[in-house]
């Protein structure tokens, strides 16, 4: 969602801010703006649409200054207009950029209007800007704190004032912000991607913290204005992982990254001799692990589908009843969890608002909580207190791909580590580990078929509706295949469990509604084949994902993509890849904005 970048230092701020905005584009946005402070004056430019349009508007304008703030906005309060775009500037003196939602902005606005304040936008952010301006009495940090104490809602804000040409004030509550430190210059951003070209030393702000940032460093206080200890960390994501590396889109690059980053998810976490996993971040004694009697996996979207694969692994390997839920449902129902329940929160970004709230709810109820997260230092990773990074590297396309496969890898390792304490034999454990080690090579074999998959995909771009069908561990694969295609192509897609077809979805099947089915060689092979025969008999064109050397699968296929054989539990790691490529090539053929599909954001930081 919205992106923030700010700079204070020895260089001209504008080029750094514009580059930061380009690096934040992947988050999804509909307008952008920048403000730079120079000689006691704030110069601001805003534009609806892409950062490119903003840059065109700036061309030929003189915007010098060594301190500035910039923003990409994803509209929540107020339409997509230049007036509503950030930064909001008050009286040419104070500029603010804001991510999040100020829930009580109406009542605050009414009071300000009664005092004669005039507003130029419909946004909640401008209300906060006016409030800070009104509370300002020479000390910007104090004015920010005083104002935030009146606010209900979520925020990550960055404020600049003409009286302080060398200063930015940042604050966060529920919307991420981090400071990138370097010699005589500091960066502030909603995520590290915006400043990784300049520095890897990062301070993540926590909820309720306010930072006063100057060229030479920064100071952090809480909302009581008491000093807070700094906790700077070094991050290892290089700029290269945030570049397309010769691929046309980030999504394609990230699909092709999978064999490499998959190894990163496994590295140092396998004990072949004992046939088990050794996940440091699990941080539990054997006794504590044995006391777990139930697992809950909580996540949204693609992460939840990875979680569904995890359910099969926990039940099969560890004999543990496992439930998978949407974070957005979990947080509002009355989930039954206790100190024997292991609650796993899955999130690529580590910032998904509903998953964060679910984490807090599970903690409040005394469950054992672990985060399985990609972005290092993200809020969920920090608040979980313990857990595991999936090491997928920067994932910038809105559609998640490599984070999904790495989440499954980590879940399999978790399930195996629990399983080896009770249910799973040494031989099975070793077989799983060996099969995991073989996955990258097998992923490569699938990726080599990219051109063939592209040719198949082109033939499906004409359809308005496409169904996906799978059973057992491939049921989540069908759901993920449908999600991937719908979100980037805007074709209506649904995923179904094969056995469920006859109970309703079959009514949708016709020659105009093709079915993509996963028919790999496993215990449900014959049943799946029958279900596919049934949809074919009703005129549906079928695209089948089949195991290589399976000569029978073609009997029910109009189009077929072969994948290498692996253990049944590991099949989703391979079977999803052709569906990612299928979705990608259809979206390209339809000339969609593949990396930034309409209405979607990479990191959903509001409810």
* Footprint of ligand F6R (CB under 6 A): 300-303, 347-349, 352, 355, 399-400, 483, 487, 603-604
From CA 38, how far away is CA 478, in angstroms rounded? 55
Minimum CB distance to ligand F6R smaller for 395 or for 571: 395
602 is catalytic: yes
Q: 48 vs 242, which CB is nearer to ligand F6R?
A: 242
In the complex, what is the shortest distance from the CB of residue 355 to ligand F6R, in angstroms, rounded to a whole number?
5
Nearer of residues 199 and 603 to ligand F6R, judged by Cβ: 603
- Residue pair 405/399 in contact (Cβ under 8 Å)? The answer is no
Q: Using CA atoms, how far apart are residues 160 and 264, in angstroms rounded to an integer?
A: 41
Task: Find the farthest-apart pair of alpha carbons in the chain and give their distance in angstroms, rounded.
Answer: 79
Of these residues, 50, 109, 146, 602, which one is catalytic? Answer: 602
Identify which of residues 127 and 303 has a Cβ nearer to ligand F6R in the complex. Answer: 303
Q: Between residues 433 and 482, which has the closer beta carbon with respect to ligand F6R? A: 482
Per the CB < 8 A criterion, the answer to whether 603 and 1 are in contact is yes
d(CA 383, CA 377): 10
Q: How far is the CB of 130 from ligand F6R (least distance, A)?
A: 33
Q: Which two tokens stand for residue 246?
A: 């010769």
- Name the strand (E) or helix (H) holding 581: helix 571-589
Helix (H, G, I), strand (E, B) or coil at 336: coil
Cis peptide bond upstream of 87, omega within 30: yes
Give dist(CA 407, CA 309) in Å, integer: 10
Nearer to ligand F6R among residue 303 and residue 516 (C-beta): 303
Q: Which of 2, 50, 253, 529 is catalytic?
A: 2
For residue 434, CA distances in Å to 270, 310, 409, 422 come to 10, 18, 13, 20
Separation of alpha carbons 40 and 92, rounded Å: 9
Q: How far apart are CA 364 and CA 337, in angstroms?
A: 10
**Three-class SS of residue 530?**
helix
Are the beta carbons of 556 and 571 closer than 8 angstroms? no
Q: What string of DSSP letters covers 24-87? A: HGGG--SEEEEEEEETTEEEEEEEES-HHHHHHHHTT-----SEEEEEEE--SSS-S-TTTSSP
The H helix count followed by the E strand count for the chain is 17, 26
Cβ nearer to ligand F6R, comparing 416 with 479: 479
Name the residue nearer to ligand F6R (CB basis): 303 or 570: 303
Structure tokens of 269?
């976490």
163 or 607: CB nearest ligand F6R? 607
Kindly write down the DSSP assignment for every residue of 235-273, as one continuous string. Answer: ----GGGGS-TT-SSHHHHHHHHHHHHHHHHHTT-EETT
**200-206-207 Cα angle (round to 5):** 150
Of residues 258 and 531, the one with the C-beta less far from ligand F6R: 258
- Per-residue H/E/C for 109-126: HHHHHHCCCCCCCCCHHH
CB of 4 to ligand F6R, least distance (A): 18
Nearest residue to ligand F6R by CB is: 301
The least CB distance from residue 604 to ligand F6R, in Å, is 5
CB of 51 to ligand F6R, least distance (A): 22
Angle of helix 250-266 versus helix 402-419 axis, rounded to 10: 20
- At residue 59's C-alpha, the angle toward residues 54 and 62, to 5°, is 110
Q: How far is the CB of 103 from ligand F6R (least distance, A)?
A: 22
In angstroms, what is the minimal distance from the CB of 27 to ligand F6R?
11
SS3 98: strand
- CA nearest 471: which of 541, 539, 401, 522? 522
Please, are residues 517 and 545 in contact by the beta-carbon 8 Å criterion?
Answer: yes
CB of 353 to ligand F6R, least distance (A): 9
Question: Distance between the two ends of the chain, CA-based, in angstroms?
Answer: 12
- Of residues 72 and 348, the one with the C-beta less far from ligand F6R: 348
Instruction: Identify the DSSP state of 5.
Output: E
How far apart CA 141 and CA 148 sit, in angstroms, is: 11
Q: Which residues are part of the catalytic machinery?
A: 2, 602
């Amino acid at each position: 969602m919205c992106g923030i970048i700010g700079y204070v230092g020895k260089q001209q701020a504008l080029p750094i801010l514009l580059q930061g905005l380009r690096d934040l584009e992947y988050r999804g946005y509909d307008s952008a703006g920048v403000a730079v402070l120079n000689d006691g004056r704030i110069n601001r430019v805003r534009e609806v649409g892409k950062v490119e349009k903003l840059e065109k508007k700036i061309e030929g304008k003189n915007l010098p200054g060594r301190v500035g703030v910039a923003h990409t906005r994803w509209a929540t309060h107020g339409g997509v207009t230049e007036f509503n775009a950030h930064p909001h500037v008050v009286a040419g003196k104070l500029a603010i950029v804001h991510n999040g939602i100020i829930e009580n902005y109406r009542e605050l606005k009414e009071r300000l209007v009664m005092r004669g304040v005039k507003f130029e936008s419909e946004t909640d952010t401008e209300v906060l800007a006016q409030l800070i301006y009104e509370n300002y009495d020479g000390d910007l940090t104090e004015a920010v704190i005083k104002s935030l104490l009146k606010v209900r809602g979520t925020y990550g804000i960055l404020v600049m004032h003409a009286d302080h040409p060398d200063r930015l004030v940042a604050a966060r509550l529920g919307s991420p912000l981090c400071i990138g430190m370097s010699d005589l210059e500091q960066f502030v951003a909603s995520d590290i991607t915006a400043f990784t070209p300049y520095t890897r030393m990062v301070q993540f702000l926590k909820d309720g913290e306010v930072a006063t940032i100057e060229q030479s460093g920064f100071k952090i206080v809480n909302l009581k204005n008491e000093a807070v200890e700094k906790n700077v960390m070094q991050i290892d994501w290089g700029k290269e992982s945030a570049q397309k590396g010769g691929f046309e889109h980030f999504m394609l690059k990230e699909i092709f990254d999978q064999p490499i980053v998959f190894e990163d998810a496994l590295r140092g976490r396998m004990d072949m001799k004992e046939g088990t996993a050794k996940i440091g971040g699990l941080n539990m004694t054997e006794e504590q692990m044995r006391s777990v009697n139930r697992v809950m996996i909580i996540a949204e979207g693609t992460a939840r589908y990875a979680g569904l694969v995890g359910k099969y692994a926990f039940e099969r390997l560890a004999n543990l009843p496992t439930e998978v839920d949407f974070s957005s449902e979990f947080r509002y129902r009355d989930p039954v969890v206790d100190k024997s329940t292991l609650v796993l929160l899955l999130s690529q970004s580590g910032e998904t608002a509903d998953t964060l709230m679910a984490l807090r709810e599970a903690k409040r109820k005394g469950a054992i909580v672990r985060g399985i997260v990609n972005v290092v230092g993200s809020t969920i990773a920090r608040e979980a207190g313990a857990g595991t990074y999936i090491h997928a590297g920067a994932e910038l396309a809105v559609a998640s791909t490599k984070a999904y496969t790495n989440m499954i890898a980590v879940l399999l390792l978790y399930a195996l580590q629990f399983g080896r304490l009770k249910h799973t034999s040494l031989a099975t454990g070793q077989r799983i580990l060996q099969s995991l080690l073989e996955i990258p090579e097998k992923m490569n074999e699938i990726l080599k078929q990219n051109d063939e998959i592209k040719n198949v995909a082109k033939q499906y771009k004409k359809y308005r509706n496409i169904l996906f069908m799978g059973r057992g561990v491939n049921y989540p694969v069908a759901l993920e295949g449908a999600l991937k295609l719908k979100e980037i192509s805007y074709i209506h897609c649904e995923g179904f469990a094969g056995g469920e077809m006859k109970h309703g979805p079959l009514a949708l099947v016709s020659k105009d509604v093709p079915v993509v089915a996963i028919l790999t060689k496993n215990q449900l092979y014959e049943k799946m084949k029958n279900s596919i025969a049934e949809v074919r008999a009703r005129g549906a064109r079928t695209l089948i994902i089949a195991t290589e050397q399976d000569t029978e699968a073609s009997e029910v296929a109009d189009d077929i993509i072969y994948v290498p054989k692996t253990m049944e539990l590991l099949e989703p790691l391979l079977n999803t890849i052709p569906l990612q490529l299928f979705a990608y090539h259809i979206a390209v053929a339809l000339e969609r904005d593949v990396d930034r599909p309409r209405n979607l954001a990479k990191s959903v930081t509001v409810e």
